[in-house]
Amino acid sequence: MIPNLSEIFSLTAPEIVIAVTLILVVLVDLIWDKNKVPAMFTAALGLIVAGVVILNGMPETGMIPNNYMVVSDKLGLYFKFIIVLTTLFILLFTYDSKEIIESHLRQGEYYALVYGMVLGMFFLTSAVDLILIYIALELLSLSSYVLAGFSDKETRNSEAAVKYLIYGAISSAFMLFGISLIYGLTGTTNLYGVNEVLSTTVVNIYTLGFAVILIIAGIGYKISAVPFHFWTPDVYEGSPITITAYLSVASKAAGFALLIRFVSITFIDHVKADGEWILNGAFDWQTILIVLALLTMTVGNLSALWQKNIKRLLAYSSVAHAGYILLGVAVLTNLGLVSVMIYFAVYMMMNLGAFYVVMLVANKTGSEHISQFDGIGYTMPYAGVALTIFLVSLTGLPPTAGFIGKLYLFLALLDSNMLMVAFIALLNTVISLYYYVRILKHMYLKNVAEMPEKIETRGYSTVVLSLLVVPVLFFGIYWTPLIDFAKYCVEFVIK
Amino acid sequence: MEGMPILSLITFLPVLGMVIILLLPSRNEAGIKYTALGITLLQVILAVMMLSGFNYNLPGVTDESTFQFVEKFRWIEIQEVSWLGTVKVDYFLGVDGISMPMVLLTAIVSLIAVISSWKIPKAIKGFFALFLLLDTGMMGVFVALDLFLFYIFWELMLLPMYFLIGIWGGPRKEYAAIKFFIYTLLGSVFILLVMIGLYFSATETLADGSKVFTFNIIELANQANYNSDGILSPFNPQNWRYIAYIALFVGFAIKIPMFPFHTWLPDAHVEAPTPISVILAGVLLKMGTYGILRIAFPVFPEVTRELMWYIALFGMINIIYGAFVALSQKDFKKLIAYSSVSHMGYVLLGMASLTSTGINGAILQMFNHGTITAMLFLIVGVIYDRAHTRGIDDFGGLATKLPVYTGFVTVAFFAAIGLPGLSGFVSEALVFVGAFSVESIRVVTVISTLGILLGAAYMLWTLQRIFFGKFNEKWEGLTDIDSREMAMFIPLTIIIIFLGVYPSAMIDIMNTSVSALAEFMNSAGNNLLGGM
């Protein structure tokens, strides 16, 4: 049962890198007490190393069912890679964030806590044991509760943190209850073991259904699926923008990785040659996921329509996007999984970009109210154009990467003949257009002074923004590399 | 000209212009304007060069080898894995007799629109940059032969159009712009669904003999390419072809705009600045009918045959309804907008006949309506620039004050009415001849002829109220048109008169293709209908 040392390294190399860097960040921060730059560089360097380790490890890994608590496979590495990229961007954002810079003395803790989140998320993407899943989830959550209330300038920060904590505590209690029920039913916490039991013996389907629903509540909280999304707008609005952006991308990526792994390991019977997943019939995943997905995107989009605070608006928009992604999972095919992975890569770029522009504007104006965006298109031309591209991409219009994400999602849906579902999802994108364009309206259409004063944007911000704008446009026109990478990372072992 | 990628040039030249304009400082207004003018002029020259090299005897339509100026290469190719076949998308451009007139129209109308934008009041740089992006989208739609590429160009126009109406428009610009945006996006959503459905239903055979799913419009029109279980395959007994056809048709109909999806049009037209109204009426509306001819007809021949009566019926409703609403308008621009609704009805009616005469008439009507309505909107723009009102009843007796202007107005109005000797007459006549020859839609056609009468009524009445009768002293200070405005009116007038006297110049371009299309609709439609 106890793996040898080389196995430990091959299974958890990225996690080891992150854990070591976490310690280094704390040490560096202690050594250079006043200067926060070394801590930041250590943090960034650790991530780059982790990224290299992930990419290097990819060709060798194959999915091997084992009795350990983790597996190392391409799917997990893909999501880890997304998390690494997101974290790197967040560090870049942080350097530019007024909110964080103003709490200068506590910056060291900030990096350490972000690393705590990364470690939790890394374990979530590769855990195959319910115990480890729970611990990783708690590690992620505890770090993020603190980060949500990080800034001491504003009371809404603390409010967000407390709300996040209360909702989080309840949902993790649900999850723990679900885990214990599954253990009671099957006598094991290893997902492969659970699968084994479910396909060989008959368990009480009501108890199992109840347990699974409790676990869905736990995961649904992380990916902010309706009806577990109530914390999202408040927490997103209250947290520092860097953390909001981080929660909306990275923590969702981890949640989705967990969901995919939970469904595909615990409940799968086999994968057909055409990529369709045949489940073992213990639980009707498809129906419940489709209902959740449609509910999530519709509620998210409709609630976003009237929001006046851009962070809140983007919070609801991210709820809606969780719905689209969930639909990709609900297809339960390899193509669906590819569409989820592509959507995530794209969503990372466009959502981070949108939050970054909001941060730049808030840095200047001190508020994220939509009226602060009046005439931004003229006073901050590059940021305006960039936000336009991100919003167009979030809507899913060509020629942006967002369209490719949506396209593959709909390809997956229609490949499985889910025409009505695809239709509802498409109607949702039409609804979403309205609120995204409302931001454009404020940026460009509001009457502004004849010769508006230009607001200076730092060269640094321009570069960071370009790092996100260029791929959003590039992958919108030539997306072969994106698909190839995602396709390469989809692999299943058929029992 | 051999080997020159002329279609890519004509399509992406405006993007190049856009980049140049973005690099120019916004103070350099003359430079920006002349760049836009130069680019669109070059586009016209390229279009004329294409016309001179265009072979009138090659049909195109459903025969890939007879398309002209073809550029085709692999754009996206994703290798096969066991659970997903090869994915490929081609960059595939080409023209035939159906798209050639539209390319000409787009080039000409864009040039005229640039001339008419000379006096745009604010943010000149942004205006021309967006305008040129829009130009690329429009041109791309007419030359793309891959459904995916077509869709990208189709969507590319939405955002520039939103800004062009929303920033430079009239008092209710925000409402008009978002309404346009949401309506058209709703339409494209339907098109996207059908596009993906078609993708999974048909394969094309590559050079190495392998079969791959395809977005190629020409391959999609070939019934032999369909598999047996695709949801849009005619060989699947539970297929969704009727629903898909209606969805696709609605997607395009929103753009035409066909009753009852027309409500965005008057708002967009009234609020849009003059050059954008010109583009809207001159080119954008044609994309709807072009899409139907290029995609909906050849891909779903049997459904088209079954539903042709309904298409004709909606054509008739457009004609009559548009004309009646136009009659009641007090706003000059709104009147022209509704006359557009009415005139696009003729296109629908002509297409629905599925005869070569009718389709020839429809495409000719698309071209003629493009030029005539462009001129009508310019006319509105000229008077609005001077008087700052568009109320028809505010004017009166302008003919004595503005003789040259009134001269052009008369030509355009009579062309819109369909007076013999001017271009509008020929296309409407062909539409009616074509439609009348088909027995099933004869009644509809006969009722539609009322539209001509109503058209004459609202046009002549407007002419009388604005230009004749007692002169309204308030407009003592109005000046006649200047040389820049002459430069927009004269070319359009020449085209209108020339095509009125010698319509064969345009019909010859399209006739071979149209006959091939009509023939295909009959044979393929019969095959599929007989087989079921």
DSSP B4-58: --HHHHHHHHHHHHHHHHHHS-TT-HHHHHHHHHHHHHHHHHHHHHHHHT--TT-
Adjacent-strand bridge partners of A333 = A276
What is the pLDDT at residue B138?
Answer: 93
Tell me what the pLDDT averaged over chain B comes to: 89
For residue B381, count other CB atoms closer than 10 A to its CB.
Answer: 21
Among positive and negative, which fits the CA dihedral A181, A187, A189, A191? negative
Q: Which two tokens stand for residue B451?
A: 């539209």
At residue A13, what are phi and psi to the nearest 5 degrees?
A: -50, -50
d(CA A114, CA A98): 18
The alpha carbon of A339 is separated from its chain's Cα centroid by a whole number of angstroms, namely 15
What is d(CA B455, CA B432) in angstroms, rounded to the nearest whole number?
15
Q: Do B196 and A426 touch (CB under 8 A)?
A: no
Which residues on A lie below 8 Å from B82 (Cβ)?
273, 275
Contact B166 A484 (CB under 8 A): no
Question: Is some CB atom of chain B closer than 8 A to the CB atom of A422?
Answer: yes
Alpha-carbon gap: B273 to the closest alpha carbon of chain A (Å): 14
pLDDT at residue A495, rounded to an integer: 39
In whole angstroms, what is the distance from residue B476 CA to residue B479 CA?
A: 9
Below-70 pLDDT ranges, chain B: 1-3, 530-532
pLDDT for position A494: 43
Identify the pLDDT of residue A313. Answer: 93
The reply to whether B290 touches chain A by the CB within 8 Å rule is: no
| Long-range contacts at B499-503 (CB < 8 A, ≥ 24 apart) | B499/B364, B499/B367, B499/B368, B499/B423, B499/B426, B500/B415, B500/B420, B500/B421, B500/B422, B500/B423, B500/B424, B500/B425, B500/B426, B501/B421, B503/B364, B503/B423, B503/B426, B503/B427
Could you tell me the residue ranges of all domains in chain A?
288-495
- Burial of B250 from C-beta contacts in 10 A (0-12 / 13-18 / 19+): middle
Smallest Cα–Cα separation from B383: which of B410, B405, B403, B416?
A: B405
A415 at interface of B, judged by CB pairs closer than 8 A: yes
Instruction: Return the residue matching tokens 């003729």.
Output: B346
Preferred mutation among A419, A423, A429 to probe B, highest tally of B CBs within 10 A: A419
**CA distance to partner chain B, nearest, from residue A314 (Å):** 20
Which residues on chain A are in Cβ contact (under 8 Å) with B155?
A: 397-398, 403
- Which residues of chain B are within 8 Å of residue A393 when distances are taken between CB atoms? none
Phi-psi region of B92 (alpha: psi -120 to 50; beta: other; left: phi over 0): beta
Interface contact A333, partner B, CB < 8 A:
yes
Name the residue in chain B with its Cα closest to that of A447.
B167
d(CA A464, CA A92): 7
pLDDT given at position A64:
65
* B 198-217 residues with CB < 8 A to A: 199-200
- DSSP assigned state of B331: B
Residue B522: closest CA among B388, B358, B372, B391: B358
Tell me the β-bridge partners of B226.
B202
The pLDDT of residue A493 is 47
Q: Kindly tell me the burial class for residue B327, based on how many C-beta atoms sit within 10 Å of its own C-beta (0-12, 13-18, 19 or more).
A: middle
pLDDT of residue A104: 64
Nearest residue on chain A to B122, judged by CA atoms?
Answer: A450
CA torsion angle B216 B218 B223 B229 (round to 10): 10
Sign of CA dihedral A360, A429, B256, B39: positive
Q: Distance between alpha carbon B419 and the CA centroid of its chain, in Å?
A: 23
pLDDT in tens, B3-14: 678 899 999 999
Residue contact A437–B151, C-beta within 8 A: no
Q: What is the pLDDT of residue A278?
A: 84
pLDDT in tens, A383-394: 999 999 999 999
Cα distance between residue B305 and residue B307, in whole Å: 6
**Best of A480, A488, A491, A494 to mutate (most B CBs within 10 Å, chain B):** A480
Please name the residues in contact with B158: beta carbons below 8 A apart, sequence gap of 6 or more: A397, B181, B184, B185, B188
Query: What b-and-e string marks burial along A370-400, b requiring 16 or more CB atoms within 10 Å of the CB?
Result: bebbbbbbbbbeebbbbbbbbbbbbbbbbbb
Does B456 contact A at CB distance below 8 Å? no
The stretches in chain A having pLDDT less than 50 are 493-495
CB B77 within 8 A of CB A327: no
Q: Between chains, do B185 and A433 touch, taking CB under 8 Å as contact? A: yes
Q: How far is A62 from chain B (nearest CA, A)?
A: 17
- In a 10 Å sphere around its CB, with 0-12 CB exposed, 13-18 middle and 19+ buried, how is residue B185 labelled? buried
Give the nearest partner residue to B82 out of A273, A429, A440, using CB atoms.
A273
> What count of CB pairs under 8 Å joins A to B?
96
- For residue B257, say if its preceding peptide bond is cis, omega within 30 degrees of 0: yes
Q: What is the ipTM of this complex?
A: 0.91
Residue A273 bridge partners (DSSP): none
Query: How far is A82 from A88, CA to CA, in rounded Å?
Result: 10
Strands B203-205 and B211-213, how do they pair?
Answer: antiparallel
